[in-house]
Amino acid sequence: MKYERAHLETLLTALSATRRAFWRDTCGDWAIWGKRGHIYADGSGFLIVVCTEGSIRRWTNTKRKLDFCRVTQDGDDEGCLHLDHLPTPKEVDLICDALGIKRKRRYTPDQLATLTARLRKKPTRDPSRPANIRQKGKGEH
C-alpha cells in the first residue's frame, strides 16, 4: 500500500498534475483523478481507467490516442489501459487530455515578476479595521 502511494506520487510529478487530483477512492486505494477517468498503481506499472459517460466515439478515440498503452478491458464506452513505464512528455500531454487531469500552472520568470510586482503594489487590508459590513438597524428584520 505504501509502495503504491509512492509510485503514484512519482507519476503525479511526471504528469505535473495538481496535488488535489491525488486522493483515495471509496475502497481506500490511492488514485490520480481526472474528469474522465483515473489512474491506479498496478504492480510496476499503472492502470488507467477511462470513463467516457456513454460516448462510444470518445472511448474509441481515447484508445487510439493512448496507443502506447495496452488495452486490458474493452467495453462499449469505457475500459482500462495498462501503462508499463513512466510517460514521456508527449505521452503526459495525451494522458492528461484524455482523462481530464488538471495540471499545475507554470509561470515564466517574466510572469512571476509581474505577479510579484502587482501583489506588492496592492495594499492589504488592516485586520484591525472592520470591513464594510452592513449591519441591521432597529427597524430592519
pLDDT, tens digit, 9 for 90 and up, residues 46-63: 999 999 888 899 999 999
The alpha carbon torsion through 112, 118, 122, 125 (nearest 10 deg) reads -20
Whole-number pLDDT of residue 104: 84
Strand partners, 37: 34, 50
Burial of 117 (0-12, 13-18, 19+ CB in 10 A): exposed
pLDDT, mean of residues 91-110: 91
Domain total in the chain: 1
- pTM to 2 decimal places: 0.73
Q: Residue 136 falls within a domain, yes or no?
A: no
DSSP code, position 130: P
pLDDT tens, residue by residue, 78-91:
999 999 999 999 99
Q: Which residue range(s) make up the domain with 23?
A: 2-99
Taking the C-alpha atoms of residue 8 and residue 109, their distance in angstroms, rounded to an integer, is: 29
Q: Residue 110 falls within a domain, yes or no?
A: no
Q: Residue 66 falls within a domain, yes or no?
A: yes
DSSP code, position 43: T
Q: Residue 30 falls within a domain, yes or no?
A: yes
Taking the C-alpha atoms of residue 84 and residue 45, their distance in angstroms, rounded to an integer, is: 4
DSSP code, position 103: B
Taking the C-alpha atoms of residue 18 and residue 32, their distance in angstroms, rounded to an integer, is: 10
Q: Residue 52 falls within a domain, yes or no?
A: yes
Q: Residue 135 falls within a domain, yes or no?
A: no
Q: Residue 123 falls within a domain, yes or no?
A: no
* pLDDT surpassing 60 at residue 132: no
pLDDT band with cut points at 50, 70 and 90 for residue 122: low
Q: What is the CATH number of the domain that holds 72?
A: 3.30.1460
Taking the C-alpha atoms of residue 1 and residue 67, their distance in angstroms, rounded to an integer, is: 29
Whole-number pLDDT of residue 73: 93
Q: Residue 45 falls within a domain, yes or no?
A: yes
